[in-house]
Amino acid sequence: MTPDRERWAEALAVERQHGDRAPAFIAERAAALALAGDIAGIARWIAARIDQLRGVDVQSL
C-alpha cells in the first residue's frame, strides 16, 4: 500500500470511529503530538484527509 493510500485508510477509520467528532479528535491528537515534540507525527497526521472526505477544499483555506 502506498503512503497516500495509508493516509486515506487512516482518515476513513477515524471518520468511522469518531463520526462528527472526528475533527475534534484530530485536533486533540495533534495537540498531544505537539506537546510531545513529535513534529514528524504531526506532519503525518490526517486532518487534511478528513476534510477531503467531508468535501472541504483544504487548498482554498
Cα 43 versus chain centre, distance = 10
For residue 59, is pLDDT > 70?
no
pLDDT by residue (tens digit) across 1-56? 888 888 888 888 999 999 999 889 988 988 999 999 998 887 777 777 777 878 87
Report pLDDT for 17.
96
Report pLDDT for 21.
93
